[in-house]
Structure 1
């Protein structure tokens, strides 16, 4: 009998994981049904009773779900991390965001900046504006876009720039280009981990998927999609 694995994951890792699922399905005969939301929403929906077999979100959220009995204790494994980047419409003029000063200058002079206010990346960016002392100048020009659509907003002309995990920018090509990653001093990596549901009816299959996604054989694919291993 073909077994279906219900994967519930964060939008930031969607491009990378989707690139790997066909290989796993071909090798095992299992099928993977994937659902994606921003990190906090994934956790909230699982806490509310959403069914899943395998989850990929922030490690701290996996720990919380394990503590509440939703994730199997001891099943957590590290998946990787994703850095923050700036996106612009393909063909836009090159922008220098290598230094903190240059980065702040670009943000202050952008006509509009899309970000996902309900996601982990959006929360970090909002706090970063305060740290840089440019919140009053920049926040009136922020455009709130649902997670998963943030990078594409610049292609649709809804914003001049977008601030979002690198994975989402690379996935929006060729209409969208990666202007660059955040300056080293300001970079914030969003960590992701995998956990197995305590109520999974296909726990063994889910563990096989977890092992596949964390194996070194997929490192190159993940790197090409913007996911870094530690």
Structure 2
């Protein structure tokens, strides 16, 4: 009925304080933390406890440390979050078709947001990726650029949760996506990606979503239809 109350380590309490400051906006990406000595004096703990807490936060990906430069709130936290998610999917032996179905849900939702939220700079970057796809003949490079094109759409959505989840599942699907690109004709790949780009360019959310849905359904059929 009753549970034993476990006393938290001092380093855990320090971590909680720093995380709370991130949650409420007192610490933002790029902000520099006080030195170990300053933190120890402010909180009233030993430098060893501060060092232990900072080490744990670094392992979590919340902070970056620079030799002789101190500790900063990281801007690469999404990579740290997507890594464990990728491992979870792999350890549970999730089949590729299920992962791809999840990818469809994420990306179709993301392109709707992207059509409304992208910047002109991002649209130009998407166009540059498309132009690079036209120029390459190597299938591996084409597959890599294909991935970059879709990841750029995720970035354009401005939704961090789309980005975290897409990063995790694309890491799992990476080899599969390469094989997928090899099964497709280059002209077909270019045609559908050009259509997606043009729909985004005119900010036609419904059209962009419709074209992407068709594209992903074709990829799914090509790779999971047992007759292929």
Q: State if a TM-score over 0.5 links the two structures.
A: no
**If each structure's helix is expressed as a fraction of its own residues, which one has the higher value?**
2
TM-score band by shorter chain is under 0.3
**If each structure's strand is expressed as a fraction of its own residues, which one has the higher value?**
1
Larger Rg: 2
